[in-house]
Structure 1
Amino acid sequence: MPDQRPHPLAFPVMLFGNAALAFGPWLVRLADVGPVAVGFWRLLIALPFLWLLARVVRQPAFFPKRSLALLVLGAAVFYAVDLAAWNAGILLTKLGNATLFGNSGSFLFALYGLWLVGRKPSLMQAGALALALVGAVLMMGSSLELSPQHLRGDVLALVAGLFYGGYLVFVERARGGLQALPLLFLATGFAAPMLLVISLAMGEVLWPTNWTPLLVFALSSQVLGQALLVWSIGVFPPLVVGLALLTQPAIATLIGWLVFGETLSLADWLGMIAISAALVLVRLPGRGLRTAAARPS
């Protein structure tokens, strides 16, 4: 993996994409269809926009060779299960919790990145991981203490997070041979019918009366947020991407506080500060962090 210096704006752009994704739980609550159906519409509505965007930036979608196609299909399967479980969990727990547990796979992705380079984490990397873990535990502990009935939603979101980690690994592998937008377009196209089948099997309300939350959700989370996430996986090492994903629960927690009046405890605030500090540590120069391997942008 050759050392490269990403563009100075690459890291803020990645954080901006995570901020767009953090609004997802709020929009799931605003939709008037079943939670799995929300995921289906998110993907279906995004497809033409992703296709057009890929054409505009000269990354046209194409069906890859078999080995890459299997990686994309694997990403789609993990992504579909992630969205189904995550959206269901969002309705049963706090926004911050849903986003925190839904991104728990980012820890696995970060550890996968260290395994990928075949070495132990440096002291600074280990410190960043420890701070992020402390922040996550603080936010999780605050939720369970304030409202034990959130546990069911937390478990669903945690299951979603584990599948999300698998999705990120498949995306990382596929980024070795596919540009960001063709990869996201194909994974979105494969995952959408899977979510439709799950939604119909669960007997959910499928057809919306208010399209606004679904349209905003598709454009903000799928077209903008996921596109920037998939792009950043080709630019930064998994450790940096994994820890950056933890900014989402902090933002979602603030949204829950401002919009839904969800209580923020001292532990919530300390958890958000710890996660922010972990991001600062992992971005300090000269600590042996490598950027992602050279691959299509």
Structure 2
Amino acid sequence: MTKVKPMYRSPTSSTSGALLAVVVANTALAFGPLFVRMADTGPVAAAFWRMALAVPVLAVAAVTMRRQTGGGEPRGRIWLFVALAGIAFAADLGTWHLGIIHTTMANATLLGNSATFLFPLWGFLVARAWPTRMQGVALLLAALGAGLLMGRSYQLDPRHLTGDLLCVLAGVLYAGYFILMADVRRALAPWPALALSSLAALLPLIGFAMLLGERIVPQQWTPLIALALVCQILGQGCMIYALGRLPPLVIGLALLIQPAVAATIGWVHFGEALAAPDFVGIAMIAAALVLVRDTRRNATEAPPANPVPEETR
């Protein structure tokens, strides 16, 4: 008989690897706006190539994992959840990439990560529990830190309204993607889950890009290859791995690593010097992550469902 275990590990399990993965994921994903700006295709077309160039690598990784572990095929509603996750991610990337072009880098990074608080809220609703005092302090620290970090650079400008709204919508869609993929990860290991959801996003993205009349084929492939390798394979790969091992509160707060890294990229690449409030904000975000680093302190773990075969982990 196949030995099974739930997606979320027991409180006694180590989460060090998952915490490292979520830090690496958000650090890599923070480079996304830079690569999109550098691409010579349309913004939605850039999202398509991010997926298209990554899918072969993800497929090889998924097949290799299946051969090594002997994992089974997805069954039942998992196919539906994978398809919906791919569509949600395609909509997220399409709207966010459009927003990046029509607003500032700072606005796009801040508003596009509004899932920071939406995904933990879903976790509390599923758990039917209020945040503990420690979790409340962590959420407050994270909110204040994000406000300090982005407060100086956020620009309320009517010219950016369309881009800002697109980035807010992208943040909501990103939270929906996380919710769907959390269910998928109860049945699939990380690489197969990411490979299938990425494949499901291809058709919506190329269709949307063509409807917008964007330039599809690039002359310079370097930014798109970097987008695929750094953001989709490394960033989303680590994110989906962590999604199967950390509760929504930790995943959500970790998204605030992206604005911190984006501010550093702006400092190095664009000469946007950081001031004292920026460093204080980064410190507050780090403190919030420390407060929620141990899953034993969180009541936000999704109830186990569709346990994953031991050999597929």
Q: How many angstroms apart in 2 are the aligned matches of 1:92 and 1:272?
A: 26
- Rate the CA distance shift 1:60–1:151 in 2: closer, same or farther, 3 A: farther
Asked if the contact 1:257/1:264 (under 8 Å) is kept, the reply is: yes
Asked if the contact 2:144/2:284 (under 8 Å) is kept, the reply is: yes
- Rate the CA distance shift 1:184–1:11 in 2: closer, same or farther, 3 A: same
Residue 192 in 1 paired to residue 189 in 2?
A: no
1:114-171 Cα deviation digits (max 9, x unpaired): 2222211111101111111222333443234586644432222111001000000000
Deviation of the 1:3 alpha carbon: 2.7
1:196-253 Cα deviation digits (max 9, x unpaired): 0100000111110000111111011111111111111101111111111110111012
* Mapping of residues 231-250 of structure 1, within 5 Å: 231-250=241-260
Give the match for residue 62 of structure 2: 54
Tell me which of 155, 162, 167 is aligned to 2:165: 155
* Paired amino acid for 2:110: L
Asked if the contact 2:247/2:295 (under 8 Å) is kept, the reply is: no
Q: How many angstroms apart in 2 are the aligned matches of 1:23 and 1:147?
A: 24
Q: How many angstroms apart in 2 are the aligned matches of 1:142 and 1:62?
A: 51
- Rate the CA distance shift 1:288–1:169 in 2: closer, same or farther, 3 A: closer
Give the match for residue 116 of structure 1: 126
* Paired amino acid for 2:213: G
Asked if the contact 2:246/2:295 (under 8 Å) is kept, the reply is: no
Q: How many angstroms apart in 1 are the aligned matches of 2:196 and 2:294?
A: 35
Tell me which of 37, 40, 43 is aligned to 2:51: 43
How many residues align? The count is 297
1:264-293 Cα deviation digits (max 9, x unpaired): 455444332322221121126863557665
Give the match for residue 13 of structure 2: 5
- Rate the CA distance shift 1:98–1:268 in 2: closer, same or farther, 3 A: farther
* Paired amino acid for 2:58: L
Asked if the contact 1:172/1:234 (under 8 Å) is kept, the reply is: yes
Where does structure 2 lack aligned partners over 5 or more consecutive residues? 1-7
Asked if the contact 2:21/2:241 (under 8 Å) is kept, the reply is: no
Give the match for residue 26 of structure 1: 34
Question: Identity across aligned pairs (percent)?
Answer: 42
* Paired amino acid for 1:34: G
Q: How many angstroms apart in 1 are the aligned matches of 2:36 and 2:256?
A: 19
Q: How many angstroms apart in 2 are the aligned matches of 1:102 and 1:60?
A: 38
Deviation of the 1:24 alpha carbon: 0.9
What TM-score do you get using the length of structure 1 for normalisation?
0.91
Give the match for residue 230 of structure 1: 240
* Paired amino acid for 2:55: L
Residue 261 in 1 paired to residue 281 in 2?
A: no
Give the match for residue 128 of structure 1: 138
